[in-house]
Amino acid sequence: MTPALLFDIANTYVLPFWTVMILFPNWGVTKKVMGSYLIFLPLIGLYIYYLVATVDPESAAALANPQLADIARFFSQEGAAGAGWVHFLVMDLFVGRWIYWQGQEKQIWTIHSLIFCLFFGPVGLLSHIITAAIFNRNNNLAETTTDTAVS
């Protein structure tokens, strides 16, 4: 298989996980699938493949003491770009999974954060942090109001 085909397969592989988290968050299958770390193993295997195929002593030295120009040269290689992209896919999916479970456990609305995370990784995490803070603030206000009304 070519690096380009593996790249296409990796992109396609993650889509069902994002789809069920976004569209069917309360479905039992979604909860079961997203409750497992096994979903990450194929991507991690592909990441290791790209690394082994791409990293040589020179690039390893550049990665050990990163300079922007060296990193740019490294990622200009197809295999290195593939490794970088799969790294994004794994980490964004991992963070998306965490956001999903936060929503399930705390009953926080997460659709917007998951969509942002799918397309813009860290922006989705920021969106969830803000959403969770607003949710917690509103819950604390509601509890205070309820406690005051009962007293």
Indicate the burial class of 23 (C-beta count within 10 angstroms; 0-12, 13-18, 19 or more): exposed
**pLDDT at residue 144 is higher than 80:** no
- So what's the pLDDT on residue 37? 97
Report the alpha-carbon distance of residue 16 to residue 10 in Å, rounded.
11
Counting the structural domains of the chain, the total is: 1
- So what's the pLDDT on residue 139? 75
Tokens of 128: 């969830």
- So what's the pLDDT on residue 10? 97
**pLDDT at residue 151 is higher than 60:** no
Tell me how crowded residue 55 is: count the other CB atoms within 10 A of its CB. 17
Tokens of 121: 């990784």
- So what's the pLDDT on residue 59? 87
**pLDDT at residue 27 is higher than 60:** yes
Report pTM.
0.87
- So what's the pLDDT on residue 113? 98
Report the alpha-carbon distance of residue 145 to residue 39 in Å, rounded.
43
30 three-class SS: helix
Q: For residue 65, give its domain range.
A: 3-150
The pLDDT tens digits of the residues spanning 28-78 come to 999 999 999 999 999 999 999 999 999 999 888 888 988 999 899 999 999
The pLDDT tens digits of the residues spanning 76-133 come to 999 999 999 999 999 999 999 999 999 999 999 999 999 999 999 999 999 999 999 9
